[in-house]
Chains A and B, each alone.
Chain A
């Protein structure tokens, strides 16, 4: 009885229209959502004054390598479209302005004040849209640390080590230690992929995923290893060296003492 009712409804001329409408809504809505996630990039809410100040700072500090219009030269890449997040990370961690060329640009004391960094970010993001500086709500460390740990081990730990202690890459490059890095900079690094780090855009790791990862890193930073001294958390090399030198050395010492005659 009931079945027949449904069958009748299915044959109604409105049914086809309804199905098509529902399909369009789901597909279109989903696509809009997905593209919005990838192009998570706004020019931010910077003032024109900030842009002007940023341009001045850029011309006097950055243009020699990145070009007068940030179009890039042989000494530095184009900054068009890299976004405010990239500027905030590179200048905010002291990697930029670069000190010397080498396998990797090193972290060093920050050269600008935060408002100057903001002005530079304002200028660069005014050139073309790119990833913006993350919203404060994704930088809190109250995310799901278990989930963050799982995502970190899958996406980050191969280079940065399971506890974020960092590790070596090819030809003198390395993945830096993540201890003591500001939540904002960790987020920006994931979004922009500085130097040889790959990009983890919001379609791959959503802002919530990133928040969970940051929460995990901050959690292990605040909670030292339950197993005692970590020896830097660097794994078998450091721990093996300790065993070979000190533990085996101690055993050899005891053996010598056992066999020696008393004075």
Chain B
């Protein structure tokens, strides 16, 4: 390019920039990165040597043949590795070989087609300049003309009553749509604050529902507990279990540090805590016998069972709720009441 041509191009660019940004507040860097232009055209090996061209052709043919083979193998595998109801291992062979065959069938076509296009089809680079987003003056004038004509013909500005009632109708029609959002779920009402536990409900083993004697729970023992009657529930069994699941542990009574008012919530070193993490509700049941730590496997919240399950590590913000327990006349462990606070993670209406 001659030096004259260069300066003309430069001048043109600066005029354009002035035109576009005049009067604006934006600060435009005067020496923005220069357009590097197109890369010089590089000739491919397949264009230079007929030997390479032949090789590329063979590769594409090979890939398509591989695809045929893969599909044929998938057909074969479907019959050769049938699913069997008695042998679970048959699922593995069936899905593995069928999948491998189908993969080869599809990948062969795909990779072959791309390879063909990249090595053998013409590789001339074409650049398409962007055009301006703004329409031409004539287009703009014509658009305004059309809008004005429509206004004139419909009388949208002239007939005020029609216009205003239309606005009203448009404002009202989404309201039924909003109101039916109320049907998205039943109001949980009090269900988040109460569980199946109440005075006198026996603590029973998960999953068989057999009651637990205080004498069964030796020091260091852990029982996974559900309330009596849970297994017989006909509705919402899992919802109730998710709230009422309890971990029962016996430690040396001397190691427990109950706060005032909670001294009689344990029975001779047997304590029951909600198994639902106060962070996001995972079951906390990784109990360490000697450290008395309860670990939540999801986010590593750690609770100190000896100190009313106070949080000693992790993202949980509250201790696990304790279930006050005692024994009934027959020596079985029973709840003194429901939990005294909602179990599980925080929710909007939770008071504390």
Contacts and interface: CB of A to CB of B under 8 A. Distances in A.
A159 B286 contact: yes
B289 A196 contact: yes
Contacts of B207: 150, 154
A198 B249 contact: yes
B229 interface: no
Given A198-B220, A204-B223, A167 B297 contact: yes
Interface stretch (A3-11, A105-113, A117-125, A255-263): A255-263
Contacts of B291: 170-171, 196
Contact of A199 (B96, B123, B221, B293): B221
B40 to A, nearest CB: 12
A258 B218 CA distance: 66
Interface stretch (A60-68, A176-184, A220-228): A220-228
B302 interface: yes
Contacts of B219: 199
B101 to A, nearest CB: 16
Given A155-B224, A261-B42, A199 B218 contact: yes
Contacts of B262: none
Contacts of A48: none
A38 B216 contact: yes
B196 interface: no
A258 B111 CA distance: 9
B265 interface: no
A34 B216 contact: yes
A199 B216 contact: no
Contact of A170 (B91, B206, B285, B293): B293
B221 A204 contact: yes
Interface string A231-263: 000000000000000000000000001100111
A193 interface: yes
Contacts of A175: 286
Given A203-B216, A226-B89, A170 B222 contact: no
Interface of B: 42, 44-46, 88-89, 91-92, 95-96, 114, 118-119, 123, 205-207, 213, 215-224, 249, 283, 285-291, 293, 295, 297, 300, 302, 313, 330
Interface of A: 27, 34-35, 37-38, 150, 154-155, 158-159, 167, 169-171, 173, 175, 193, 195-201, 203-204, 223-228, 257-258, 261-263
9 contacts: A35-B215, A38-B216, A170-B313, A195-B289, A198-B220, A223-B88, A225-B92, A261-B123, A263-B45
